[in-house]
Amino acid sequence: MRVVVTGCSGFLGGEIVRQLLQRDCEVVGLSRRETPDLVRSGMTHHRGDLLDQTYLSRVIAGADVVIHTAAVAGVWGSWQHYFDNNVVASRNVLNACQEFGVSQLVYTSSPSVTFDGNDQRDVDESEPYPETWMCHYPHTKSIAESEILAADQPGGMRTVSLRPHLIWGPNDPHLIPRVLQRARSGRLRIIGDGNNVIDTVHVTNAAAAHLDAIDALRSRPDEAAGRAYFITQDEPVNCWDWIAKLCRVHGVDPPTKSISFAAAYRIGAVLETVYRVTGRSSEPPMTRFVASQLAKDHSFDIKAAKERLGYRPRINMEAGLQTLDGESVDR
């Protein structure tokens, strides 16, 4: 089976490649950055830009499966930047898959496509997209997700969208370093009452879910295809207790000071306005979206992923935290 993975140089994309190689798949990776470790492991790498349709067509031709993980994440930046990299790039991937008869397209989405700023406790995939958006990332991801799911064709290309929440694990370049850096500097505050419940997912499990999706699309396409699925550890945790554990694992004092959600939200709104008016490109230290993410519940019912994809977490929370022990983190 020839599998093309976009965003292979990313945290999740790289783990997906490694798990595919363990299955002896022929894996082709697409990214803007070089990936010498994955090439040494057996992946064929094509460096380029997903906005280049010629490049995409050349690489995707002959693929059986495409896993599209590449995206621009974050909470700040221009609409055009997010739209080009998350919507136009996904349309290019979709067009190339349709042109060359790819049988399966697995899209990496985000639970934030359903987030409207309010608590989400044990919600399932019936949760709708919000009517208004707090930042461009979830908005553009929702557009790409809806178009890819709409392209599902019985008897033709089958598509599925996965929504892993808060991916973490060894060598995480995003979530854990950001938390630790803020905690070390004393700038990390508990937002709200500190009792919000969240779901997370270890990178091993997030990647395995993509392979489960491939298997399900092949063995029971009519049951699995054309749907979105939340992907988690299936172990909801208190957000700030979990952050404290991450800090302690890495020898950092966890946050003890707090700020009300209302105050953090107001600060975020003011900073967004100031940064927008002054044209600053850097991310504000607080935004309305970040305040809401850190103060509200985010837990998800993954029954559909279990039943339709055969997904199960391969590594539980306790074992996952142990994979971080002794990890070298840039201080």
Give CA separation, 284 vs 149, 269, 276, in Å.
33, 10, 10
Confidence band for 331, pLDDT divided at 50, 70 and 90: very low
Q: Does any domain span residue 237?
A: no
Condensed to tens digits (0 to 9), the pLDDT of residues 5-22 reads: 999 999 999 999 999 999
Which CATH number characterizes residue 308's domain? 3.40.50.720
Which pLDDT score, from 0 to 100, does residue 327 have? 55
The catalytically annotated residue of 107, 137, 229, 265 is 137
In this structure, what token pair is assigned to residue 177? 């370093």
Which pLDDT score, from 0 to 100, does residue 174 have? 87
Q: Does any domain span residue 104?
A: yes
- Strand, coil or helix: 28: strand
Q: Does any domain span residue 91?
A: yes
Q: Does any domain span residue 281?
A: no
Q: Does any domain span residue 75?
A: yes
Cα separation of 30 and 275, whole Å?
A: 34
Which pLDDT score, from 0 to 100, does residue 33 have? 93
Q: Is 137 a catalytic residue?
A: yes
Q: Does any domain span residue 195?
A: no
Domain count, the chain: 1
In this structure, what token pair is assigned to residue 90? 């996904």
Range of the domain at 47: 2-165+201-232+298-315
CA nearest to 279, candidates 42, 117, 77: 77
Which pLDDT score, from 0 to 100, does residue 325 have? 66
